[in-house]
Structure 1
Amino acid sequence: MGLVGGGAMGLGMGVFLGAMSDMTPPVTVYKGKEVPIAPIKEQARAVLRQTGEKSLYWCRNFAFITGVFSGSECIVEKIRGRNDIWNPTISGCVTGAAIQAKQGPGAAAFGCVGFAAFSIVIDKIMGH
């Protein structure tokens, strides 16, 4: 899939999640009627800006995950010289550890185990 595919997938996910999330600005009540704080044009601009920010956030995350996973899987397969269940498992461990690296060694180990288990499950469901 690579960086471009992961980034595009994340961008689509961000647009979807941005459209589904509740980003309506608060309203005030004046003489028993709800009055919006900003005109509709400004509210729409704010919602589009927040959706764009969320899309870029998801784009970066998916691109990072797919880049680390596919890159490490290629390296592992080249080193091992085999194409079996252990390649995505080891790559999942590397990816999970890379995602959680900033939180410390304990979180990196937990991320390694979690993403490796997820890789095994996905490999079993999708078929090797």
Structure 2
Amino acid sequence: MATTPEPESTPSSSTKEEKRPPVEPLRLPSMEEIRGQDIWNNCAVRSVVSGVMGGGIGVMMGLFLGAFDNSVMQEEMSAKQQFIYQAKQMGRRSYSSAKTFAIMGLIFSAAECVVEKARAKHDTTNSAIAGCVTGGALSAKGRIART
């Protein structure tokens, strides 16, 4: 029996369609999601949240760095006095760091939000401008050096 050669397979349109990812339907946000986005897009809310989070980070940094402060008179103190002194130092350092980080977070977030809304763009230029504003605001309390 003679067999006829089978025709070479050519890529059909059905194999091309199988390689495409499936199309998923568009999901619209719910009313709760829209309200949440509207609240988060408010510059005051963003600034306050950033200030609170900055304060929390400042407390942790202050406690960590305050543990490394050494007293000049530690050899003369008892263990109880050293513990009390160290706890007070950590408290002072954490309060100071918390205040600085909270102010820094609040100013940066507010400046970035205002610049973003004014420019109507979301890019790194907004962050750079906000960083300059934050640095200027934090250094404005410093005194002018007299020579």
For normalisation by structure 1, the TM-score amounts to 0.68
The alpha carbon displacement at 1:4 in A equals 1.1
Answer yes or no: is 1:18 the counterpart of 2:57: no
Equivalent residues of 1:7, 1:60 under 8 A apart = yes
| More strand as a share of residues | 1
Q: Which has the larger radius of gyration?
A: 2
The alpha carbon displacement at 1:41 in A equals 1.1
Answer yes or no: is 1:63 the counterpart of 2:102: yes
Separation of aligned partners in 2, 1:72 and 1:105: 25
For normalisation by structure 2, the TM-score amounts to 0.60
Separation of aligned partners in 2, 1:49 and 1:104: 28
Separation of aligned partners in 2, 1:16 and 1:39: 23
Answer yes or no: is 1:47 the counterpart of 2:86: yes
Separation of aligned partners in 1, 2:74 and 2:57: 31
The alpha carbon displacement at 1:43 in A equals 1.7
The alpha carbon displacement at 1:24 in A equals 6.0
Aligned pair partner of 1:6 in 35, 38, 54: 54
Instruction: Give the 3-state SS of the residue equivalent to 2:73 in structure 1.
Output: coil
Separation of aligned partners in 2, 1:94 and 1:42: 43
Instruction: Give the 3-state SS of the residue equivalent to 1:22 in structure 2.
Output: coil
Structure 1, unaligned stretches of length 5 or more?
28-36, 107-128
The alpha carbon displacement at 1:105 in A equals 7.7
Partner of 1:120: none
Separation of aligned partners in 2, 1:95 and 1:105: 18
The alpha carbon displacement at 1:22 in A equals 2.2
Instruction: Give the 3-state SS of the residue equivalent to 1:103 in structure 2.
Output: coil
Deviations 1:11-41 (A, max 9, x none): 10001101123236343xxxxxxxxx33221
Partner of 1:101: 140
The alpha carbon displacement at 1:76 in A equals 0.7
More deviation, 60-69/37-46? 37-46
Note closer, same or farther for the CA distance 1:104–1:20 as it changes in structure 2 (3 Å cut). closer
The alpha carbon displacement at 1:61 in A equals 0.6
Structure 2, unaligned stretches of length 5 or more?
1-48
